[in-house]
Amino acid sequence: MKDGKTSIRGNFRTAYDRINSFSFSSSVFQGMPGLTYQITNSTAGQDSFSGTPTQGLRAANWAPPAPTATPLALTTPPAYSANSLTVSDPSMQTPTVSMWGLSIQRELVKNPVLTVSYIGNHGTHLYGGYDTNQSEIFSNGFVNAFKQVQANQDSPLMTQVISSDTRRLAGESGTAFIKRNYASNLTLNNVAGLANSLATRLQGATTANPNGVPLVVSSGLSASFFKPYSQYLGGLFVLQSRDYSNYNGLQAQVEKRFSSGFLVTVNYTYSKSLDTRSFDPTFTLVGTGGTQSAAGTPFDYHTPRLNYAAADFDTRT
């Protein structure tokens, strides 16, 4: 300004973040079909170590691939398994953060200076990972069946889902079965947890299906009734760059200078930080279920904006 007591400053910059190679070397490359061969035995118990493998791999009719197996056969997963796999999104983009700021500084009287600043940033294509094999509970009618069980009503769909379960008592209805085996899910309204438990239950291991057959398949339902990828019921994790964030902050500062280099500064900041998922330094970004690391699990994999809310580190000061 003409009186020399006011300054206006502005800035803008764009920064890019390289995707770390550790995620791929430790999670993607190590589990590539054809490079490794997975076998998950979900029925093994402590008696597997008794010397007689009554529930070990031999009991599950497991056998290594034949020496004559073709590369295509080795890269083709079995139709059903409790295995998991981590892959990367072929459309992954470089994480980008745009940052900007505007400040006005004014000397009020001799020495006291007031500075008001607005700063913000917007992150796009942020790195993260999700389980694309989340259990479906809406389009298949499972939520309504869950509510019927909670109300102690008969649920034809639930009865069909558990109809072939080896734990079912003779003539037992789906409602009675769920209340007997999964009472805690009903108490906690854990619809997705119950769906996941039923979706990942394999039974009836045979030579043709050494991992067993999903409960829903043996009950006459589609293999994709709960999960779209029955080959990896343990989770099909995809490393992606579709997270995003926003930060906006207003800063005010009053500074009073004294002689001999002494000064007094008073600051106030009001800010808000929003994101679809906050930073996770331990690579537990694909945690699921009730684990502590599952805090970043989206409500719906297909709709990440449902998780757009205050960041873990959002602080109003």
pLDDT tier for residue 96 given thresholds of 50, 70 and 90 = very high
* Backbone Cα Rg of the chain: 28
pLDDT of res. 150: 97
Neighbours of 163 (CB within 10 A): 17
Q: Which residues contact 310 (CB under 8 A, 6 or more apart)?
A: 272, 273, 274
Q: Which residues contact 202 (CB under 8 A, 6 or more apart)?
A: 42, 80, 81, 82, 211, 212, 213, 214, 215, 233
Quick one: DSSP state of residue 187? H
Q: What are phi and psi of 114, to 5 degrees?
A: -105, 130
Most confident region among 72-81, 84-93, 145-154 by mean pLDDT: 145-154
Handedness of CA 170, 176, 180, 184 (dihedral sign): positive
Quick one: DSSP state of residue 233? T
Q: Report the first-to-last Cα separation within the chain, whole angstroms.
A: 31
Distances (CA, A) of 305 to 11, 59, 145, 203, 264: 29, 46, 27, 37, 44
Token duo for residue 34 = 């054809």
pLDDT of res. 51: 46
Neighbours of 134 (CB within 10 A): 23
**Which has more pLDDT, 55 or 289?**
289
Distances (CA, A) of 308 to 187, 195, 276: 28, 25, 4
Q: Residue 50 above 50 pLDDT? A: no
Strand locations in 186-298, DSSP E?
Answer: 202-203, 213-214, 235-257, 263-275
Residue whose token pair is 């490393």: 239
Pick left, alpha or beta for residue 235 (phi over 0 → left; psi -120 to 50 → alpha; otherwise beta).
left
Tell me the per-residue pLDDT of 104-148, one tens digit each, with 9 for 90 and over.
999 988 789 999 999 999 999 998 888 899 999 999 999 999 999
Q: What is the mean pLDDT of residues 258-279?
A: 87
Is the full-model pTM beyond 0.85? no
pLDDT tier for residue 101 given thresholds of 50, 70 and 90 = very high
Residue whose token pair is 């029955």: 230
